[in-house]
Structure formats: C-alpha cells, structure tokens
Amino acid sequence: MIDKELICIVCPVGCHIRVRGLDNEHLGVSGNKCPRGEKYGIKELTDPRRVLPTTVSIRNASFARLPVKSSEPLPKNLLMAAMEEIKKVRVEAPVNTGDVIISDILSTGIDIVATRDMDRI
Ligand code: SF4
C-alpha cells in the first residue's frame, strides 16, 4: 500500500496532496486544486525528476563560472552522477544561451545547456 503526502511544486499555490494506491499502477491523488497536481503526484512517486541548475568552469570570460541547466528534468536518482560529469567540464568563451555544453548526459537523451551568454575577454 502506498500512502504519501506531498506538496505540489508545479505552481506557487503549493497544494498539500496525498497519493494513495495499492501499487504504482493504481494511484489516486487527493487535495490537488487542479489536474496538474494529480499528474505531479503520480510522477513524483513513479518517476521523480528535477531540472538540474548548476554552473561549469569557463575560460577567457568575465566570470569564472557559466550557469547551465538540464534541457529537461533528469531522473532524481541520476542528479549526483550528472553533477560528477558536469564537474569535469571546462568550456571556452564565447558561449551563447542555449549552447549545448554536454550532449546526452548519462545517455538520458537530455543535454546540459548554457543559460546565459558569456563573451570572450
Ligand atoms: S495542484 Fe494545481 S493549484 Fe495546486 S499547487 Fe499543484 S498546480 Fe498549483
């Protein structure tokens, strides 16, 4: 039996939702004020994911770190491994917003992309 209370993080309302069911195939959600909460609650229990925002080292730019994020939410259980891969990377300026810094990280089909421009100095 699954019975878990969560706070929906899809919008600022932050509904307290409850996900219950016999197994992952038969889950019901209560407490959600809209259908997005139901989708979030079931996804959070069956395949939790997060967008990973972080920075990478950059050379020849006005700052030492370039902000990046995953192009799609990554499985939560891969976030630490993804950070280990990202730590190994050093990019060279210039970089434009949306440039792919790491393609297909951990064979997930998800890229790590730049979230700002950084000129060469
Ligand atoms: S259930 Fe709907 S209204 Fe409530 S926090 Fe989630 S998205 Fe917002």
| Nearest Cα residue to 51 out of 75, 19, 30, 32 | 75
Q: Atom 1, ligand 1: which residue's CA is nearest?
A: 37
Model confidence over 107-121: pLDDT tens digits? 999 999 999 999 999
Q: What is the tens place of the pLDDT at every residue in 4-28?
A: 999 999 999 999 999 999 998 999 9
Helices (H) then strands (E): counts for the chain: 2, 10
Position in ligand 1 atom list of the atom nearest CA 7: 5
Beta-strand relationship, 112-114 and 100-102: antiparallel
Q: Which of 7, 9, 29, 36 should be mutated for ligand 1, with most atoms under 8 A from CB?
A: 36
Residue nearest to atom 3 of ligand 1 (CA): 33
Distance CA 106, CA 66 (A): 20
Determine the Cα–Cα distance for residues 94 and 96; give it in Å rounded to an integer.
7
pTM of the model: 0.85
